[in-house]
Structure 1
Amino acid sequence: METVACSRYAPVAIIPLNFQCSRIIKGLKLCKLPGGFLKRNINKRHRLRYRPLVASAKGRLKGDANEETKKQYEFDENDSTQVQFNEHPLAFGSSISSMEPLIGSSCFLEEEGLGESMGKDLTVIDTKPSSVIQIPGLPDGNNGSCITSGSWEWKHKWIVNYDKAGSQNVGAPAVLFLPGFGVGSFHYDNQLRDLGRNFRVWAIDFLGQGKSLPCDDPAPPVGEVDSEENIKYWGFGPKVEPWASELVYSVDLWRDQIRNFVEQVIGEPIYVVGNSLGGFMGLYFAACYPQLVRGISLLNATPFWAFIPNSSRSPNMAKLFPWAGNFPVPPKARKLTEFVWSKISEPEAIKNVLKQVYVDHSAMTDELFSRILEVTEHPAAAASFASIIFAPQGELSFNEILLRCQEMNIPICLIYGREDPWVRPQWGQLVKSQVPDAVYYEISPAGHCPHSEVPEVVNFLLRGWIENRESQASVALPLYDDPSLLHSDLWREMEFERKGLRRSVQVRVVRSKTPFWKFFLSVFQPLLRIFGGKSYKTRI
C-alpha cells in the first residue's frame, strides 16, 4: 500500500519513507530512512508546472533523524541540504497530477496513522500502483467500419454534408458527432471506423463549415467584376439571393440544423458527442430538445460562443450592432474580412494553430492539414467566416443551458484533455460542479482535441459510457470498477498499440467540485500577469 499525505492549506508536501536501500528518482537520491520522513518545502515560485523544484530535507530530519541519518545527508547547521528535481515539481494541496514521475516508482510506503497524526488539514491520497489498463488500438482498414458520405438538403439550397458508419447495426444506439470550429465531419473518422462496429454513428458539418458551404454565391456581384476576384470571394455582392435571405451562421441556426437532421435523417433519439464548438452546440440542442437526446458527451467543449447580443434577450443592446451576420456582407466589413481571412487561412498560420491545440504533434497528420486547408480555399469560406463571427448569441446562456439539462436529467459525460490551452479543464469542472451526476474523465497528455490525439482512449471511454447507459448501469463505467478511484484523484495509466508501437496516457476520474475562487483565478490568471499582479497557480 502506498500513501502520500499533502497539506491542503500549506505549501508543504510530507512523504512517508521506509526504504530498505537508496533509490534514485528523477535525480533525487533518497537514502535509507527507516520510519523517517522527508519534508519538502515548496516556495511560491515553484508552484508553476514544468519548473525545477528545490526540495529541502533538513526541516523534518533535523529533529527526528539519528546521527547516522544526518551523516548520510551531510547536514550542516548553517546550510540546508537541497536536491534538484530534473522534471516536474511535486504537487501540493490535494492534487497529485504533477507527481507523475514519482508515482509507480514503489518509493511511497504506507505509514500507520499518518492521516491522523498530520491533522485535519491533510488529504491522504491513495497511490496504490495498479496494473496498467490495456485497451484496444484503432481497427485497421479491414476490421474498421466502412464510412460513407452523404448530403442532405435542408431548406432551399442549404446542403448539409455528413458521414456515417455502422448502418448494419440494426437496433443499436444512434450516436451523432458534432465537430469544432474550422473542421468538419472528417475530424471524427477514427470514431466512426471504431465505434461504427458497435453503434450506428453519424458526423455532420455545420452549415458554413466543412463541406456544408453553399454551392452558389449567396450575394453575387453585379456588373463587370474581375473573374478571379469573383471566384475567390463569394457573399460580398450588393443583393442577397432569395434562398439565402434568412441565412445567418448562428448557434440558433445550427441548433435547428441538428434537430431537423435527427428527425429527418436519423429518425430517433441520439447520443450526442461534441468537441469545442460542437460540445457547446450539443448542450444547446439537448437543452432545447431533450426528447431527442439520450445522453451527451462533451470533449473540451467551449463554454460560450458569439459576442453580438441576441435581439430577443437584449433588444436594446442588439440595436447597437448594425450587422448581425446576414448576407450580403456589408462593404465596410469586406476589407476587414479579406485582410483577416488572408492571414488566418495561410498554411503556416493553420499549422501554428494546430501546434497550439495538439500536445502530440504526431497526430497532426498531412491528411488532417490538407482537409482543413481545402475548406479554407472554398470561395464562400471568407464570407461564411465573417457571418459566424458577427452572428448573434443564442437564445439561452450557458448557465441556462446547464440548468435545463440538469432539470431534464440528461446524462452527461465529460472527457477533457488536461493540456488544452484554450478550454482549460476548469471549465469542465464547472459543468461538473453544476451537474454533480455528470461523469468526468481527464486525459494527460492531451490537448483541445482528445478524440484526434488519443482516439483509442476516447473511444474506449465513450463505448463504456454508452454501454453503461444502455444496460441501465449493469455494465460498469470505465475506471469505476476500481474502488480506489472513487475516493481519490488517482491517475491510471492506459496503454494501447498504434502503428506497431506501445503508447500510454494517464486518465483519472474527476469527482471534486471546483471552488469558485479557484475557478475565477484560473480564468483570469493571464490578465493578472499582464497587469503586474501575482500569479496564483490553482490546481484542482
Structure 2
Amino acid sequence: MEIISQNFLPQCSVVTWSSKLDKKRLVPDRSSILLSKVVKRSRLVIRNGTTDGYVVGENEDLGSIARRGESKSKVLIPGLPDESNGEAGAQISRYRSEWKPKLTVHYEKSGCDNIDAPAVLFLPGFGVGSFHYEKQLTDLGRDYRVWAMDFLGQGLSLPTEDPTTISEETGALKKNESFWGFGDEAEPWANELVYSLDLWKDQVQYIVEEVIGEPVYIAGNSLGGYVALYFAATYPHLVKGVTLLNATPFWGFFPNPVRSPVLARLFPWSGTFPLPARVKQLTELVWQKISDPESIAEILKQVYKDHSTNVDKVFSRIVEITQHPAAAASFASIMFAPGGQLSFSEALSRCKKNDVQICLMYGREDPWVTPIWGKRIKKEIPNAPYYEISPAGHCPHDEVPEVVNYLIRGWIKHLESDGFEALPLLEDPEEDWEDYRIAREIEFPREGWKKAVNLLLYGRKFSFWSGVGESFRSTVIRAFRGKSA
C-alpha cells in the first residue's frame, strides 16, 4: 500500500489508501491536480472552516465509499496542547459563588481573552466535578470561553457548614461525630435542601444567567448529560446546542412530589436533612465501602476502557472529595432524592418540539450506559449527529479528549455557520448523509506517540433495531476474543 494523498494541517486531514497505483503519482497542489490513469476522481475537502486536504478515491470519490461504510480513509487530528513543544494551553481560573445562603457553587473558566467567542458549559457526572473537564478547559479554551461547574453536594460545591445541629440531649453522645448532616435538626438554610435533579437544573440556570450572561453550548457526561437535557427542555432560550456524552437516561428512584403528589407521600423521607436514624446506619456502612480508595480505583478501571489512560489526578481528586465531612450525608441525599419533574424521555421530547440542537457522542465500550441508549435517542431525533468512539468507555471526554474536542469544535462551527460548515466526518456541508453510517480511523499524537481510534457517524436512516443487532454482534465478538485470549 502507498499513500497517494496526504495533507496534515492544524485541525485535521484525510489520507486515503490504494493498493493499485499506476507509476504516476498524485501531487496535491492548490492550483491543479494531476490525475493518474488509475485515479479517476479527486476532491478538495474543506473541514470545519479551518482544515483542508485532498481526498482521492479509486474510480469513485470518498463520499460514495464512505456512504457504503467501506472507506479506508484516515483522519488526522491534533493532540492536546503540548507544553514540551511550546504549545500553551488555555489558563484555568477557579471561582466560588454564593448562589443561596450557605450554598456556594464552585466553577472553573478558561478562554477569558476570547471575548466574542461562543460560550461552552460542561456538566460533570456523578461523584466528580469540574476537574474532570481539565482537558476541555485547557484545549477548547484556546478557541472558546469555556466553563465547568460542580453540582451542589458534589466536588467542591459541598457545604462549608454542617446542615444539621445536634440537640443538647444527644450532644454528649455525638460530640465526636465525624459526619456532617447526621444531626437531629436541620439548620434553617438547609430546611428544604435536597440534592436533586431539580436543584441542579436551577443551579445551571443561575450559572448561565448570572455568571455567563448569555445562551450557551452545554455538554454533559453521564448524570451531567441528563441535567443538560433537562435544562435545555426547561429553558430552551438559554441553550444554543446540547452535547450528550454517554448521558444516563435515568436518575432518581423515588416519585417526584409535583408529578405524583399522592405516591410521594408514601415515602417518609426524600433526601432532606437531617437523615433518619436507619438511613444514617445504612449510609455509614455503604460509605465505608464506596469511599475506600481500592473501591474507587476499581470503579475507574471499569469505566475507562483504555487502562493506559492516566487517571491519577482524577483518582486523587475523588478520594479528596470523599474525605469531606459533608460527603457521606450528601451522597445519601442524592441517592434518596426524588426524580425530576421531567423524565429523560419527556425532556428529550420537549427539546425536539423546541428544535433544540442535539449532538450525541458515546464511548462504545461503556459498561454502564451502553451505546444502545444513545441509539434510542438517535431513533427519536434522526437529524441528531450520533458519533460512536471505539475503544472508549463511560468518560470519553477524559479517555479520548482529542477526539471529543475535535467533534465539539466541528459541531459548534457547524451550528455557528448555520450549517455552512460541514459536520465532522462529512466532506460537504450539503452532503446527503441519509445512509446507515460513515466510518473513519482517527489518529492523533499523544505524549510523543501516535494513537488511533475508530469513529462512526450514524446517518438519518439509522435503524434502531439494526443498531441493536450490531451492538449484540460486537458484544459476542468481544466475548469470544476474550475467551480465545
| TM bracket (short chain) | 0.7 to 0.9
Q: Does 1:188 align with 2:133?
A: yes
Partner of 1:140: 82
Cα deviation digits, residues 81-135 of structure 1 (max 9, x gap): xxxxxxxxxxxxxxxxxxxxxxxxxxxx99xxxxxxxxxxxxx9441312x2110
Other-structure match for 1:165: 110
The residue number in structure 2 matching 1:489 is 437
In structure 2, what is the Cα distance between the partners aligned to 1:408 and 1:520? 32
User: Is the CA contact (8 Å cut-off) linking 2:71 and 2:439 kept in structure 1?
Assistant: no
- Residue 227 of structure 1 and its aligned partner are, at CA, apart by 7.5
Q: Contact between 1:485 and 1:509, CA under 8 Å: does it hold in 2?
A: no
Distance in 2 between residues matched to 1:257 and 1:150, nearest whole Å = 15
Would you say how many aligned residue pairs link Structure 1 and Structure 2? Answer: 403
Which residue of 2 is the match for residue 74 of structure 1?
none
**Deviation of residue 486 (structure 1)?**
5.6
The runs of 5 or more residues in structure 1 that have no matched partner are: 1-18, 21-108, 111-123, 527-540
Q: Which amino acid aligns with 1:140?
A: D
Q: After superposition, what is the alpha-carbon deviation per residue over 1:138-187, rounded to whole angstroms, capped at 9, x for unaligned?
A: 00345100001001101111000001000110111000000000000000
1:17-416 matches, cutoff 5 A: 125-130=68-73, 132-141=74-83, 142-223=87-168, 224-225=171-172, 229-230=176-177, 232-416=178-362
Structure 1 residues 426 and 161, CA gap change in structure 2 (3 angstroms) = same
Find the residue that maps to 1:441 and give its secondary structure.
Answer: strand
Amino acid at match of 1:505: V
Q: 1:366 Cα deviation (Å)?
A: 1.4
Q: Is the 8 A contact 2:69 2:439 kept in 1?
A: no
C-alpha distance in 2 between matches for 1:339 and 1:521: 41
Matched residue, 1:448: 394
Residue in 1 aligned with 2:374?
Answer: 428
User: Using the alignment, how far apart are the partners of 2:222 and 2:414 within structure 1?
Assistant: 24
Structure 1 residues 513-528: aligned runs within 5 Å = 513-515=462-464
CA distance in 1, matches of 2:277, 2:463: 46
Task: State the match for 1:40 in structure 2.
Answer: none
1:405-433 C-alpha deviation (Å, 9 max, x unpaired): 00110110100000001111111111111
Alpha-carbon distance in structure 2 between the residues aligned to 1:310 and 1:364 = 39
- When structure 1 is superposed on structure 2, of 408-417 and 509-518 the one drifting more is 509-518
Larger radius of gyration: 1
What code does the residue aligned with 2:440 have?
A: R
TM-score scaled by structure 2?
0.79
- Give the aligned CA root-mean-square deviation in angstroms: 2.3
3-state secondary structure, aligned to 2:186: coil
- What does residue 70 of structure 1 align with? none
Measured in 2, the distance between the counterparts of 1:181 and 1:126 equals 36
Q: Distance in 2 between matches of 1:310 and 1:391?
A: 9
Q: Confirm or deny: 8 A CA contact 2:375 2:464 kept in the other structure.
A: no
Q: 467-476 or 254-263: which moved more? A: 467-476
Match of 2:457 among 509, 529, 532: 509
Give the C-alpha shift of residue 519 in structure 1. 5.5
C-alpha distance after superposition, 1:257-307 (max 9, x if no partner): 000111110000000000000000000000000010000000000001011
Counterpart amino acid of 1:478? Answer: P
Alpha-carbon offset, residue 316 of structure 1 = 1.9
Compared with structure 1, are the counterparts of its residues 221 and 280 closer, same or farther at alpha carbon in structure 2 (3 Å cutoff)? same
Q: Distance in 1 between matches of 2:377 and 2:172?
A: 51
2:414 match: secondary structure: helix
Pick one of 436, 446, 451 that aligns with 1:498: 446
**What SS is found at the alignment partner of 2:453?**
strand
- The Cα offsets for residues 429-479 of structure 1, whole Å up to 9 and x where unpaired, read as 111111111111110000000000000000000001001111112221110
Moved more, 514-523 or 485-494: 514-523
Structure 1 residue 220 displacement after superposition: 2.8
**Following TM superposition, by how much is the alpha carbon of 1:344 offset from its aligned partner in structure 2, in angstroms?**
0.6
Q: Quick check: 220-229 or 380-389, which moved more?
A: 220-229
Which whole-Å CA distance do the structure 2 matches of 1:470 and 1:331 have between them? 53
AA paired with 1:137? G
Q: Distance in 1 between matches of 2:167 and 2:93?
A: 39
- The 1-side partners of 2:172 and 2:132 are apart by 37
Query: Larger RCO: Structure 1 or Structure 2 (Cα < 8 Å, ≥ 6 residues apart)?
Result: 2
Question: 1 CA distance for matches of 2:154 and 2:384?
Answer: 30
Alignment counterpart, residue 460 of structure 1, candidates 386, 406, 410: 406
Residues 299-340 of structure 1: per-residue CA shift (max 9 Å, x gap) = 000001011001111122211211000001111110001100
| CA–CA distance in structure 1, aligned partners of residues 386 and 196 of structure 2 | 29
Residue 521 (structure 1) shift: 12
3-state SS in 1 of match to 2:308: helix
Distance 1:283 1:338 in 2: 33
Structure 2 gaps of 5+ residues are: 1-18, 21-57, 60-66, 476-485
Alpha-carbon deviations, 1:226-251, whole Å to 9, x = none?
78842x21101011001111210000
TM-score normalised by L of structure 1: 0.71
The answer on whether the counterparts of 2:78 and 2:402 sit within 8 Å (CA) in structure 1 is: yes
Tell me how far 1:222 sits from its aligned partner: 3.1
2:206 maps to a residue whose letter is N
Q: Cα distance 1:228–1:301, how it changes in 2: closer, same or farther (>3 A)?
A: farther
**Per the alignment, in what secondary structure is the counterpart of residue 261 of structure 1?**
helix
C-alpha separation between the residues in 2 aligned to 1:404 and 1:506?
32
Mapped contact 2:436–2:462 kept (Cα < 8 A): no
Looking at structure 2, the residues matched to 354 and 156 of structure 1 have their Cα atoms a distance apart, in angstroms, of 35
Q: Structure 1: how far apart are the matches of 2:192 and 2:69?
A: 57
**In structure 1, C-alpha distance between the alignment counterparts of 2:228 and 2:69, rounded to whole Å:** 36
Conserved? CA contact 1:268–1:292, under 8 Å = yes
Equivalent pairs: percent with the same residue?
A: 56
> Which 10-residue stretch deviates more, 159-168 or 486-495?
486-495
Q: Which amino acid aligns with 2:138?
A: R
